[in-house]
């Protein structure tokens, strides 16, 4: 009989091997570390997982594709970027996960995102494997024509690796409806196929699902509400601090208003805005979605209630609930200490891995309800899977049906994480619950499918 301590030692050895083989990939190692440190109890209870090398297999992507993306800017200058697609795990379905266009993208970043995606997608209960991709292309300040040429060049290589039954990309940072349109158009030209299910996040008029743009932010707020409900509270009247001002942040703010909460901030990489009257959603959408502007413009146009703090930390703003919705490692232990001092009750991750390990520890130690991204932001990919289902059936569901399904899925994920944490001796710990529940589903499938 193996004990949890034995298993933690085995996991420590596995981790050391992964660190040796993947130098200079700090985000990937951080994501792996955070999962492996919670798996001891499940490996002790299910020795067949440890005996079959499942953890080692799960940490090695099935396939990693790195490619050149040449394109021409508006001045006629030739530019070269690097493209990535990491097809991490297909035990539960076709690889599924977004594409990120941001200057910081490298193989380690894509691997961290792909690794997280395996467990997130498993938690949705739907048939989707894990993958992620992107490029170090920086879309800031680029014209529509430049973005289109870049997307066409990117897809000219990517098309051969993807397909509705193989690998289904979607959006992430820097990739929204505009980019998915250009990517889909190029895929269709090259393949001469109307293969709607090859990409998700499409426009509602040509194969996209209603509520997909809203799904990540809405889902995260529903997850936060479920965590509060578990503690006998709700979102009504609670103040909320939100970071970011992109797809996830905007729809987080929208759902917070709808549930009676008061979102008081948004941010971007230049600083944050705090608005005493709560964020004016219409103005924020006009600036971000129509004008593709920055949050300082929001403060300038909003009037006396709002102020822009250049370069500051949005987590200095006191609130009952915090919803990090920008990027990885944006909330560190100093920020956590400030939030805790200011009485935060719940933290729910709209972004992927926005909270540093020390900050997660601080929240756990202070008894703050903490929803890890792989559970809390799974609503986006869940509705992507519903988009694939609609594409396959050549139908389109009404918004109400999609939103009802999203609500059910988020409540199910919350319940699964909560029950799993309790079953494995960590009551109230959603990190352990999410990691073990996601792991068990993928590991059972891999075990059944032989040495893959």
Residue from 120, 132, 255, 345 carrying the catalytic annotation = 132
285, containing H or E segment: helix 281-285
With CB under 6 A as the contact rule, the residue among 25, 153, 238, 247 that binds ligand NDP is 247
Give bridge partners of residue 80 from the DSSP assignment. Answer: 70
From edge to edge, which strands make up the β-sheet containing 306-310? 265-268, 271-275, 306-310
Closer by beta carbon to ligand NDP, 345 or else 374: 374
Closer by beta carbon to ligand 2IT, 29 or else 175: 175
Subset of residues 355 to 384 that bind ligand NDP, contact rule: CB under 6 A = 377, 380
Instruction: From the list ligand 2IT, ligand NDP, none, pick the one residue 265 interacts with, judged by a Cβ distance below 5 to 8 Å according to partner type.
Output: none
Task: Please give the Cα distance from 415 to 407 (Å, whole number).
Answer: 12
With CB under 6 A as the contact rule, the residue among 152, 156, 209, 352 that binds ligand NDP is 352
Selection from 95, 380, 97, 349 nearest residue 212 by Cα? 380
Phi, psi angle pair for 286, to nearest 5°: -60, -45
Stretch that binds ligand NDP, among 65-73, 254-262, 319-327, 407-415 (CB under 6 A): 319-327
Instruction: From the list ligand NDP, ligand 2IT, none, pick the one residue 99 interacts with, judged by a Cβ distance below 5 to 8 Å according to partner type.
Output: none
Please list, in sequence order, all residues whose beta carbon lies within 8 angstroms of the beta carbon of residue 341, skipping any fewer than 6 positions away: none
288 tagged catalytic = no
Instruction: From the list ligand 2IT, ligand NDP, none, pick the one residue 224 interacts with, judged by a Cβ distance below 5 to 8 Å according to partner type.
Output: none
Task: Please give the Cα distance from 353 to 411 (Å, whole number).
Answer: 21
Q: How many residues bind ligand NDP (CB under 6 A)?
A: 23
DSSP per residue, 210-253? TTHHHHHHHHHHHHHHHHHHHTT--STT-EEEE---SHHHHHHH
Report the residue number whose CB is nearest to ligand 2IT.
98
Least distance from ligand NDP to the Cβ atom of residue 258, Å:
18
82, containing H or E segment: strand 78-89
Residues that bind ligand 2IT (CB under 6 A): 96-98, 120, 170, 172, 200, 352, 380-381, 384
Task: Please give the Cα distance from 6 to 18 (Å, whole number).
Answer: 19
Closer by beta carbon to ligand 2IT, 252 or else 262: 252
Q: Rule CB under 6 A: which residues touch ligand NDP?
A: 102, 171-174, 176, 216, 244-249, 268-269, 325-327, 350-352, 377, 380
Active site residues: 132
């Amino acid at each position: 009989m193996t004990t949890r301590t034995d298993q933690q030692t085995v996991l420590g050895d596995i981790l050391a091997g992964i660190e040796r083989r993947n130098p200079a990939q700090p985000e990937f190692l951080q994501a792996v570390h955070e999962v492996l440190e919670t798996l001891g109890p499940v490996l002790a209870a299910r020795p067949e997982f440890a005996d079959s090398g499942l953890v080692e297999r799960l940490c090695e992507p099935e396939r990693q594709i790195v490619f050149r993306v040449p394109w021409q800017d508006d001045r006629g200058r030739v530019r070269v970027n690097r493209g990535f697609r990491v097809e991490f795990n297909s035990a539960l379905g076709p690889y599924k996960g977004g594409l990120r266009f941001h200057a910081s993208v490298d193989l380690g970043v894509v691997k961290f995102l792909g690794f997280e995606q395996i467990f997130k997608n498993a938690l949705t209960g739907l048939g989707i494997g894990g993958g992620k991709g992107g490029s170090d292309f920086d879309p800031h300040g680029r014209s529509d024509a430049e973005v289109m040429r870049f997307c066409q060049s990117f897809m000219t290589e990517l098309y051969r690796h993807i397909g509705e039954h193989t690998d289904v990309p979607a959006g992430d940072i820097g990739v929204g409806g505009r980019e998915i349109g250009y990517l889909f158009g190029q895929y269709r030209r090259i393949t001469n196929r109307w293969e709607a299910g090859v990409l998700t996040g499409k426009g509602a008029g040509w194969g996209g699902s209603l509520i997909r743009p809203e799904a990540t932010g809405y889902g995260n707020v529903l997850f936060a509400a479920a965590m509060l409900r578990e503690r006998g509270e709700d979102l009504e009247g609670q103040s909320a601090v939100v970071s970011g001002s992109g797809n996830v942040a905007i729809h987080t703010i929208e759902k917070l208003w709808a549930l009676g909460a008061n979102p008081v901030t948004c941010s971007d990489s230049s600083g944050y805005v705090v608005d005493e009257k709560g964020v004016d959603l219409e103005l924020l959408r006009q600036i971000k979605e129509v004008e593709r502007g920055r949050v300082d413009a929001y403060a300038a146009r909003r009037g006396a209630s709002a102020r822009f703090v250049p370069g500051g930390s949005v987590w200095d703003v006191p609130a009952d609930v915090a919803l990090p919705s920008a990027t990885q490692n944006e909330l560190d232990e100093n920020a956590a200490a400030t939030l805790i001092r200011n009485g935060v009750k719940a933290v729910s991750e709209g972004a992927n891995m926005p909270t540093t390990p020390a900050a997660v520890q601080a929240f756990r130690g202070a008894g703050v309800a903490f929803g890890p991204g792989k559970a809390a932001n799974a609503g986006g990919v869940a509705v992507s899977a519903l988009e694939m289902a609609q594409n396959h059936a050549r139908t389109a569901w009404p918004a109400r049906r999609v939103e009802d399904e999203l609500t059910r899925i988020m409540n199910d994920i919350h319940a699964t994480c909560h029950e799993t944490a309790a079953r494995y001796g960590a009551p109230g710990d959603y990190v352990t619950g999410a990691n073990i529940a996601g792991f068990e589903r993928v590991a059972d499938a891999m075990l059944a499918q032989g040495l893959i």
